[in-house]
Structure 1
Amino acid sequence: MSNGTGETADVTVVFSRTDAGGGAMDTVTRTVEGLAPGAVSKGRVELGGTTSGVKVLKVRSVPSAEASRPKGPCPASGVLVSVDEGAAAMGLRTAGLNLRNCGTAEVTLNGYPALQVLDAERKPVDGVQVVHGGAEIASGTGADAPPREVVLKPGESAGSTLVWRNTTGAGDPVNAPYVRVRAMPGAAPVTVTPELDLGTTGRLGVGAWVRDEAGAPAPGR
């Protein structure tokens, strides 16, 4: 893999392992962090017993300064922001934004994360409206809890839900791999890759931050 951008980036390549007929069998993901501009990184993808070939499905590149590294070291902001693999059913899509306080001080959230939808070149996508809550997209998405102040102690987590549809009608469908997230006013941006296939709907719903009770540390810790 190579970094064709003008800045140090985390580059992710998704490979598909194929059978003798060219059909997809499974996928393999490789990420190189901190790849310098113009640099090339080499690696291997094992074929496995019945695999006959490998092809590149997609390449994603995020500036290292904005990269989401949920298992990496705690950044200067004191929070780690990531996105899960999401879920899809009958054209409805959801994905979870996750935030963990990895620092040593309390973090206060109040309201909704600020989002900027970006295309494959990481350019802002015009014509996409970010709406608060999921009700304008669909009911029962889990994104409609009212905003409340959430104070996270070190080690505690919170989550928000992204909601969209891939319905198509008149116009050109919008596919936007990246979303730049600011968890709270003044926070440093983090770019995640939820792979938005917005169809021609022009809308992305986002839920308010909600405490992740399952991720809270045990009493006395």
Structure 2
Amino acid sequence: MHPVAPLTLSAVLAATVLLSGCGTQHGLSGGERTSGSPSCRPSPTAAGTTGTTGTTGTERDDVTLLGPGCGSVLANEFQVANNGTEKLTYTIGFDVLNDSGHVMSNVRQTVAAVGPGQTVKATVEPDTSAPGGGAASRIRISQVRAVPAGEAPSTAGACPPSGIHLSADEGDAAMGLRVVGLRLTNCGTGPYRLSGHPGLQLLDEKRTPVTGVRMLQGTEEISSGLEPAPAPQAMTLQPGESAHSSLAWRNTTGSGDPVNVPYVRVTAKPGAPAVTVTPELDLGTTGRLGVGAWRKTTS
């Protein structure tokens, strides 16, 4: 259960490069590291205007839309400029709009390991066959999240030095109840021992610690409708085996200021390297988060 609509990459994004004659090619998944200006940069205004909100959506945090790509009004080049002091991995949400300015769908793209002072350029292009009420016309930036590159979550690819892939799913939501799953896979060459609950540190938009939230051992106090979790057990994951946990909360609001937690630093066990995920916790004013124990995945 999750408050944010899923951003389905395969439904609305296709990997593209700029057409020949438009200068340097820029890949979708990673982009080109460069400090120069693009050789083809139309005005960004036309690419981002929503027609409904009065804002362009062409620039947000470190990400800027650079306008339609050469040869297609639907291709949009964008750049990520890391103005910070550490290497970051960015996840960028885009809204795909029709001619009337209505959101047809959402897409998400990751640009990995952008160094301090570095600029990375890439191109997105909506799939014109995607459903959603009209032809795709424009793209705007809807959300930007950035985590330290060394703490970026992973589900596949090269095995990190920690020996595990760790990530959060997109969750589910109903009647104010939210649940997000954590998944850990042993991608190393030896056994990985695990027990208890994952360790969590809650972080705000600026990735500074959030205080005042009670961490509950288990999720039963959040909702009686959730499956009771067994007592924490020690386990050994052989290479390729996985375990899972869950985070549960309610977004009920009452007196006081609602608490929103976009980032969570997760440690699989004491002493393990942290992984920063973005479950977008909208905790309302409840001040509670249920944390399930690790359970070995059987299927």
Report the equivalent of 1:89.
174
Q: Secondary structure at 2:119's aligned position in 1?
A: coil
Displacement of 1:39: 1.7
In structure 2, the CA distance between the partners of 1:143 and 1:61, relative to structure 1 (3 Å rule), is: farther
1:190 aligned residue: 275
Q: Which amino acid aligns with 2:111?
A: V
Matches of 1:99 and 1:19 in 2, distance apart? 39
Counterpart for residue 54 of structure 1:
139
What does residue 245 of structure 2 align with? 160
**2-side partners of 1:9 and 1:65: how far apart?**
8
Cross-structure match for 2:191: 106
In 1, Cα distance between equivalents of 2:185 and 2:149: 19
2-structure distance, mates of 1:92, 1:105:
38
Q: Does 1:205 align with 2:290?
A: yes
Secondary structure of 1:44's counterpart equals strand
Give 5+ residue unaligned stretches, structure 2. 1-79, 129-134
CA distance in 2, matches of 1:179, 1:208: 16
Fraction of identical pairs, as percent: 51
Correspondence for 1:5 among 76, 84, 88: 84
Amino acid at match of 1:182: T
Unaligned runs of 5+ in 1: 215-221
If asked which structure has higher relative contact order (CA below 8 Å, sep 6+), I would say: 1
Deviations 1:86-120 (A, max 9, x none): 00001100010000011111111111001011111
TM-score of the pair, normalised by structure 1: 0.93
Determine if contact 1:79/1:103 at 8 Å carries over to the other structure. yes
User: Could you say what secondary structure the match of 1:41 adopts?
Assistant: strand
Number of equivalences: 214
Given the superposition, is the C-alpha separation of residues 159 and 48 from structure 1 closer, same or farther in structure 2, using an over 3 Å criterion?
Answer: closer
- Structure number with bigger Rg: 2
Q: State the TM-score, normalizing by the size of structure 2.
A: 0.69
Distance 1:142 1:117 in 2: 24
For 1:143 and 1:168, locate their aligned partners in 2 and report how far apart those are by CA, in whole Å: 25
Q: Do residues 134 (structure 1) and 219 (structure 2) align? A: yes
- Which residue of structure 2 lines up, in the alignment, with residue 42 of structure 1? 121
Whether the 8 Å contact between 2:220 and 2:227 is mirrored in structure 1 is no
